[in-house]
């Protein structure tokens, strides 16, 4: 175990940098937290963390490096990610255009499965997350570790992601943040829409 732990901690520290730097996943959690509350935002963070399982496994298996070398595959990933971000932008602008109070009760009826899947889909198609995992692969990651050590690496990656994104969910679903949202809902949804639109454009046009 001591042979692999230094590599693991280096990889996890890079992952924590990615989690700490707000990106599309954090903005998605913000939108869920202020409009639907704490539990849905935590479920979204759980979905994002499940996406980290897939990306960490892809790093271990070398799939991430293959994607980086095959331009066509990265283009497909970028287009999927851009399309999903543009869909989120459309939903944010639609909410911003609605007058009066948002029907939060109706929104809360979305299933936990769909809520988690939204976070998962965004994470696994998020080039920002993929590029961070490519950086992890470049410093070794789990390398050729035996299966039990790979399991520890993947579990640690999940815990890192859920702890970080779950922390964002708890913070952004707090009373003061939700009261601010209630007062400025249309402006906040418009700003979220602009962010998702810009992020989708940047991803779609990136080389």
* Distance in angstroms (rounded) separating the CA atoms of residues 183 and 179: 6
Residue 36 maps to a domain: yes
Name the pLDDT band for 116 (thresholds 50, 70, 90). very high
Q: How many domains does the chain have?
A: 1
Reported as a single tens digit per residue, the pLDDT across 55-113 is 888 887 776 556 556 556 667 766 776 777 787 788 778 877 776 554 444 445 578 89
> By the 8 A CB rule, do 80 and 193 touch?
no
Q: For residue 89, what are the domain limits? A: 5-14+26-205
pLDDT at 120 over 90: yes
Residue 99, in any domain of the structure: yes
pLDDT in tens, 132-176: 777 777 665 565 677 788 888 899 999 999 999 999 999 888 888
Rounded Cα distance between 8 and 24, Å, is 25
Residue at 20 is within a domain? no
């Amino acid at each position: 175990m001591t042979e692999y732990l230094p590599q693991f901690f280096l990889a996890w520290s890079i992952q924590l940098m990615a989690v700490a730097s707000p990106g599309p996943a954090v903005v998605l959690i913000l939108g869920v937290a202020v409009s639907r509350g704490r539990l849905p935002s935590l479920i979204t963070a759980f979905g994002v963390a499940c996406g980290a399982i897939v990306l960490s496994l892809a790093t271990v298996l070398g799939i991430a490096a293959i994607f980086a070398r095959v331009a066509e595959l990265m283009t497909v990933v970028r287009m999927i990610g851009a399309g999903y971000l543009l869909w989120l932008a459309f939903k944010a602008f639609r909410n911003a255009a609605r007058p009066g109070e948002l029907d939060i009760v109706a929104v809360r009826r979305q299933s936990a499965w769909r809520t988690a899947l939204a976070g998962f889909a965004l994470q696994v198609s998020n080039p920002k997350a993929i590029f961070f995992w490519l950086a992890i692969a470049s410093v070794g990651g789990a390398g050729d570790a035996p299966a039990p050590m790979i399991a520890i690496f993947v579990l640690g990656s999940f815990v890192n992601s859920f702890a970080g994104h779950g922390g964002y969910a708890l913070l952004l679903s707090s009373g003061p943040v939700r009261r601010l949202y209630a007062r400025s809902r249309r402006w906040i949804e418009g700003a979220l829409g602009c962010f998702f639109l810009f992020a989708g454009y940047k991803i779609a046009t990136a080389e």
